[in-house]
């Protein structure tokens, strides 16, 4: 199996071709409706992915936000390429030891799914042939690109897709690896290292969706597929494993089809109304009742190959279903799952006879409101069945939350790229390269080594600090005299916990706010165990630390108060202490901690509990 990664990271600069801020917004100021038409590239060929999207003939509604200008809505030519973003891309080129181009040529990558108001995504190749060492292995980095992010999809119905313009134009650095990655675990490690490199620049956006991965996967004997927009790094391994499983099943089906001497189906789609008219219930009956059509297609030689083979969850039938879903249909029925869904054996026989399908043949049935779309859907199935004879079709797939992926469109080729003529080529001068080279951030590996050396931190926590882009904050706080382990814990555990528990929008803590929290605990105003509660109270709107302490009932306890509490617990558990002796300490300590956690140091609590027990014992 071969795996390649494309990491897309949003930059925290202004947008790539205008000076709008790179911020998402929940405020919509107005909407407008557009349509896109496919056009040919500079060599007059229409790209298959573009043709596919155009075949859906959708209308696009765009939601404007207070921060959008005319550039995002395609009412003004792009301004010049954001110089700061280009410098970040060049910085990455140095960190990955890649060779920058002499002149950056901004290209238009045609995308007519509406995600770009212009109908293309602007993208430029910045550097080639770099490499990255992870876990003792070297991975090639064939390309580093700078491109604009697409609009954010908000909703979609059968004829219209709604996009918000806030995300459109945010600079993205795309780092592609070669097909050198052996498995999912390695893919994850490489993605994390690339993420750490990106964050080392200090110029990247944070939070959900700010870094996205595309996976390129091909198995032995298979073909390359592209999985678009994997947001959760922890899922990479699962996606790769599932894709491997899918490709294996497809290859098995191909082998069997060849053995049977099956040929590509020729169609056409056949009207099955008469054959299924008597079907009492299920999707077909429903479709007819609503005035729709029922069409079928015979797949010669496919009998038994549409269902999952023994020991696998993958199946060819799902590939066909994905084709019709991509056109907006709910799904299809295939002969390997029939009788069922209200279709009895008699109806199956009638369908077979209408389609002239023999016992070694399979068939699929769809229902839809319009004959045209149903016919288009079956044409997709017919083509996909033809591809089954060739093995694995090259395609773009959408990752699903359960670790599987779904067909979204054909793999785009070079025909969709043509130059963005509104922007002159940008020379990468020797001066610029010297300037970028002189201000490179520390590489993650060197950084990790230095942090563990200087601050005596363990490997795991150092990795978390570097991967999380927390180095600057960590060092600032540590240099202000706070104990490194406490700062590390604050940044890698307490803070993410508090953020996770807070209602949206995500709270932001300044270095000063964190410094104040650490200072308060160092001054003994509350115990370090109370840090998470204080952070949470601050996140929930407490204006200062005193308020946070009061809300969390966290102000440090007086020793006498603690002793009184411990004594009360000891007395009410006197029987237990008498019978169990020393063994009673732990549960009683637990009770006391529940009362005082965060307000006083754990060691003090233990001592108080012990004193109370001793006083009670005869």
Partner 1 sequence: MGQEVEITSAGGQVWRGTLVPSHEMSGERIVQLKLASGYNVGIRVDVADRVVVVTPSEAPDGLAAAEAVVPRTQPRETPTDGVPWIALLTTGGTIASRIDYRTGGVRPVRQESELLAFYPGLEREGPVRIRSVFDRLSEEIGPADWVVLAEDVGRAFEDGARGVVISHGTDTLAHTAAALSFAVENPPGPVVLVGAQRSPDRPSSDGASNLAAATRLARDPRLGEVVVVMHAGLDDTSFAIHRGSRVRKMHASRRDAFESRNAPPVGHIDESGVHLTAEARAPTGEELRIDTRIVEDAPLLWFYPGLTPERAEVFVGNARGVILAGTGLGHVSSHHLSWIRRAVDRGVFVGMTSQCLEGSADPYVYATGRELRRAGVVYLGDLLPETAHAKMLFGLGRTNSSAELAGFLLEDRAGEFVPRHFPERAR
Buried/exposed 472-505: b ≥16 CB within 10 Å, e otherwise = ebbbebbeeebebebbbbbbbebbeebbeebeee
Dist CA 222 CA 227 (whole Å): 15
Q: Report the nearest approach of partner 1 to the CB of residue 71 (Å).
A: 10
Between 174 and 192, CB nearer to partner 1: 174
Between 116 and 323, CB nearer to partner 1: 116
Between 45 and 281, CB nearer to partner 1: 45
Q: Report the nearest approach of partner 1 to the CB of residue 79 (Å).
A: 12
Dist CA 410 CA 1 (whole Å): 21
Q: Report the nearest approach of partner 1 to the CB of residue 57 (Å).
A: 12
Between 77 and 458, CB nearer to partner 1: 77
Q: Report the nearest approach of partner 1 to the CB of residue 437 (Å).
A: 15
Residues 6+ apart with CB under 8 A from 438: none
- Residue (of 580, 578, 565, 589) closest to 616 by Cα position: 578
Between 145 and 272, CB nearer to partner 1: 145
- Residue for token pair 């005869």: 618
Residues that bind partner 1 (CB under 8 A): 32-40, 42-44, 70, 73-77, 99, 101-105, 107, 109-110, 112, 117-120, 123-125, 128-129, 143, 145, 413-419, 421-422, 424-425, 427
Between 75 and 220, CB nearer to partner 1: 75
Structure tokens at 122: 């602007």
Q: Is 494 left (phi over 0), alpha (psi -120 to 50) or beta?
A: alpha
DSSP assigned state of 74: T
Between 20 and 537, CB nearer to partner 1: 20
3-state class of 599 per DSSP? coil
User: Which long-range contacts (C-beta less than 8 Å, at least 24 apart) are formed by 206-214?
Assistant: 206/12, 206/469, 207/506, 209/10, 210/9, 210/10, 211/7, 211/8, 211/9, 211/10, 212/7, 212/8, 213/5, 213/6, 213/7, 213/8, 214/5, 214/6, 214/8
How many CA within 13 A on the CB side of residue 447? 26
Q: Report the nearest approach of partner 1 to the CB of residue 430 (Å).
A: 10
Q: Report the nearest approach of partner 1 to the CB of residue 417 (Å).
A: 3
Q: Report the nearest approach of partner 1 to the CB of residue 36 (Å).
A: 4
Residue 268: cis peptide before it, omega within 30 degrees of 0 = yes
Between 143 and 465, CB nearer to partner 1: 143
Between 45 and 263, CB nearer to partner 1: 45
Dist CA 549 CA 555 (whole Å): 5
Q: Report the nearest approach of partner 1 to the CB of residue 47 (Å).
A: 9
Q: Report the nearest approach of partner 1 to the CB of residue 173 (Å).
A: 15
């Amino acid at each position: 199996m071969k795996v390649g990664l494309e990491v897309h990271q949003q930059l925290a600069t202004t947008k790539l071709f205008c000076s709008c801020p790179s911020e998402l917004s929940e405020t919509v100021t107005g909407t407008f409706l557009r349509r896109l038409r496919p056009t040919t590239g500079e060599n007059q060929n229409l790209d298959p992915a573009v043709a596919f999207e155009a075949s859906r003939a959708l209308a696009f509604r765009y939601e404007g936000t207070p921060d959008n200008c005319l550039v995002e809505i395609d009412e003004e030519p792009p301004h010049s390429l954001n110089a700061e973003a280009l410098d970040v891309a060049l910085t990455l080129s140095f960190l990955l030891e890649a060779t920058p181009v002499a002149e950056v040529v901004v290209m238009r990558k045609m995308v007519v799914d509406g995600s770009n108001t212009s109908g293309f995504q602007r993208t430029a190749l910045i550097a080639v042939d770099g490499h990255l060492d992870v876990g003792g292995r070297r991975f090639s980095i064939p390309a580093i690109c700078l491109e604009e992010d697409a609009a954010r999809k908000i909703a979609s119905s059968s004829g219209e897709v709604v996009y918000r313009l806030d995300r459109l134009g945010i600079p993205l650095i795309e780092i592609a690896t070669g097909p050198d990655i052996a498995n999912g675990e390695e893919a994850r490690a490489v993605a994390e290292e690339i993420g750490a490199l990106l964050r080392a620049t200090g110029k990247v956006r944070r939070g959900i969706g700010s870094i996205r991965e595309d996976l390129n996967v091909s198995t032995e004997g298979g073909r390359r597929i592209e999985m678009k927009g994997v947001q959760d790094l922890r899922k990479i391994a699962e996606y790769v494993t599932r894709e491997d499983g899918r490709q294996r099943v497809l290859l098995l089906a191909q082998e069997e089809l060849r053995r049977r001497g099956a040929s590509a189906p020729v169609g056409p789609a056949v009207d099955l109304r008469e054959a299924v008219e008597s079907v009492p219930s299920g999707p077909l009956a429903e479709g007819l009742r609503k005035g729709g059509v029922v069409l079928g297609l015979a797949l010669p030689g496919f009998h038994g190959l549409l269902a999952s083979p023994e020991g696998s969850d993958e199946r060819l039938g799902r590939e066909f279903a994905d084709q019709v879903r991509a056109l907006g249909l709910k799904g299809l029925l295939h002969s390997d799952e029939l009788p069922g869904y209200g279709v009895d054996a008699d109806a199956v026989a009638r369908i077979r006879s209408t389609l002239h399908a023999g016992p070694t043949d399979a068939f699929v049935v769809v229902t839809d409101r319009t004959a045209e779309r149903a016919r288009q859907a079956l044409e997709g199935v017919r083509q996909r069945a033809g591809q089954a004879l060739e093995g694995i079709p090259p395609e773009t797939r959408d990752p699903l939350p359960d670790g599987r992926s779904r067909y979204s469109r054909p793999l785009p080729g070079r025909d969709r790229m043509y130059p963005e003529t509104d922007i002159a080529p940008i020379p990468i001068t020797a001066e610029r390269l010297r300037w970028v080279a002189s201000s490179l951030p520390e590489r993650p590996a060197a950084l990790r080594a230095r942090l563990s050396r200087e601050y005596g931190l363990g490997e795991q926590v150092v990795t978390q600090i570097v991967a999380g882009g927390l180095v600057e904050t960590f060092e600032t706080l540590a240099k202000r005299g706070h104990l490194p382990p406490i700062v590390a814990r604050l940044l890698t555990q307490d803070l993410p916990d508090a953020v996770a528990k807070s209602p949206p929008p995500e709270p932001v803590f300044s270095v000063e706010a964190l410094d104040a929290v650490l200072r308060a605990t160092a001054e003994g105003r509350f115990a370090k165990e109370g840090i998470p509660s204080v952070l949470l109270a601050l996140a929930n709107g407490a204006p200062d630390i005193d308020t946070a302490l009061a809300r969390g009932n966290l102000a440090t306890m007086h020793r006498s108060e603690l002793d009184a509490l411990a004594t009360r617990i000891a007395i009410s558990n006197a029987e237990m202490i008498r019978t169990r002796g020393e063994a009673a300490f732990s549960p009683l300590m637990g009770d006391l901690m529940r009362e005082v956690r965060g307000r006083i140091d754990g060691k003090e609590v233990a001592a108080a509990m012990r004193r109370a027990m001793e006083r009670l014992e005869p």
